[in-house]
Structure 1
């Protein structure tokens, strides 16, 4: 590749997210150091070091990371498993994503590439390739999924990187990413914190809707098919009586159905059991009380008031659902008073 055809026109071209530069270099070793220290890469190789040119920009927000990179020579980068999902939006040229021993997944202007959380990855960047990268923390994805479904689903969130994205939602996701990158790249744009948070949440929800995972069918059925009356009645009863012990027999009686039928309805339309829903409601109530930071109460008193007799189990369930211990939430709320 000759310099006249180079992507290296830094003084004339402002790349996406150029206000958040990481590296712009012709030196492969400089690029290697940036990839290892900023992005956590574990491997880096360039086919023709003399032709190498690279640029990388990256901005970390509260729940997501948004980046840009481009390479002038064929480059191979290896990443270990991470606690986030990675989405590659091709802007120019082509690349390939190798996940474990599977076949290479192409990435280009028409086809994005996804790396699921916990998946080691090798990415082959062809000369002239440019892309936007979206990283979403696993916890943010799980919290958004819980909000969409109404309760934390059973099991871990697992994406299928080989499944094609859903065209309408995938296009919306791409447009949202491009919009946010453009806004963050504008010297005049100073987005309010609340707007950034809303855009982050919109990106996360769009990502969950556009890319197939093990809860896709449940998510789609929740959006398109209303739950039967028996499920809604049970949920309303739990919401109204969360402060006292509720048995599955009581729920079946209140909804005028059998225990077996009630369990089957919740499993089909919610993906979890009626008693799991009851626990989720109590955990949310407990969090609301903890966030008040009332100095006249304590974590243990709130736990008991919300129906949790075992403080260890309460702390474990709370942390699994909200990503932090109840004592941490309570202490933070008290400091803010």
Structure 2
């Protein structure tokens, strides 16, 4: 199928990877079978054909990437879909062709290739997908988004995170660039279970981009005063990060090391250091990359960057130059 309604040719080419047989989860004429498989990837749902006698041709592509997953789903006939509440994840639904009617928390949205929908974990949702509706679905875990948000705010959340249901995604260059990047990563066939640092970077990039690209209920928080004295749990976590930066670390692990809640960890780092613990970890790894490049014992920038969890070389090089005033290659040549 051609994606002829996507505005960006580059994005269209990238999304075409979800047509590849390698990512095909199933193709079925059985609506019951399709609903069962879709329910296992997302949540159990009731799917009914609207037009009597119509064929229930359904195709789904699926690529798991840790706390996120990339999915493409198409129903050839008109269907009514009643999913259970998502509870532990958010779902961004971006039509590539055709349209659907989404009723969520009393709001009705006609979703088209220009207007995506974001389903929040506690939303009660009903949908009607029109014939040939073909959607790209990005599943993002609730814990990933909420922990990233706490890191940005430097304080606990006083209620559930909620995004606006309607999302004009193609009008946001950062979001379109993210989708293209995700598909490029997927097309490389990189085993993210073996490159967990890279997977963690991708997860953080997705969460941060969505939080900065689309309206939600925490976009205008009150300013918080910073602590004057560094708490002991912040010092412990800093020391642990310096000793274990080469390992796969999560905010949950760091909170356990600090002996505080996840909210307490983020609040401590934000109040005293002005960054989240995960950004502090990223900064530490960047320092380790530079240290290796300056030893004179390496001759490949890409290998060092990958080893420390930096998968996007263009973004890594730009960040490195901004931080150290020279490119990674220039640092390596100093030997």
Which category of TM-score, normalised to the shorter sequence, fits these structures? 0.5 to 0.7
1:238 is aligned, of 225, 229, 249, to 229
Structure 2 segments unaligned to the other structure (5+ residues): 1-15, 245-254, 267-335
Gapped runs of 5+ residues in structure 1?
1-12, 244-281, 294-302, 307-313, 324-337
Query: In the superposition, relative to structure 1, how do residues 151 and 186 fare at CA in structure 2: closer, same or farther (>3 Å)?
Result: same
SS where residue 33 of structure 2 aligns?
helix
* Aligned residue runs from structure 1 range 1-337, under 5 A: 15-16=18-19, 18-48=21-51, 49-82=53-86, 83-100=88-105, 102-162=106-166, 164-165=167-168, 170-186=172-188, 192-218=195-221, 231=225, 234-235=226-227, 237-239=228-230, 242-243=231-232, 282=233, 284-285=234-235, 287=237, 318=261
8 Å CA contact 1:91–1:109 kept in 2: the answer is yes
User: Equivalents in 2 of 1:74, 1:215: separation in Å?
Assistant: 36
Provide the C-alpha distance between the structure 2 equivalents of 1:32 and 1:158, rounded to a whole number of angstroms: 27
Q: CA RMSD in A?
A: 3.3
After superposition, the C-alpha distances for 1:70-123 in whole angstroms (9 at most, x for unaligned) are: 1111112211112111101111111122114x1321221111111012212222
Bigger RCO of structures 1 and 2 (CA < 8 A, at least 6 apart): 2
Contact 2:111 2:117 (8 Å CA) reproduced: yes
Structure 2 SS opposite 1:202: helix
Residues in 2 aligned to 1:172 and 1:24: alpha-carbon distance in whole angstroms: 32
TM-score of the superposition, structure 2-length normalised? 0.60
Deviation at 1:153, TM superposition (A): 3.4
Q: Which secondary structure state, in structure 2, belongs to the residue aligned with residue 217 of structure 1?
A: coil
Secondary structure class of the residue paired with 2:164: coil
Tell me the number of residue pairs that the alignment of Structure 1 and Structure 2 aligns. Answer: 235
- How many Å apart are 1:27 and its aligned residue? 2.2
> How big is the shift at 1:176?
1.2
Instruction: Name the counterpart of 2:314.
Output: none
Measure, in 2, the Cα distance between the counterparts of 1:181 and 1:41.
27
Which has the larger Rg? 1
Residue number in structure 1 paired with 2:294: none
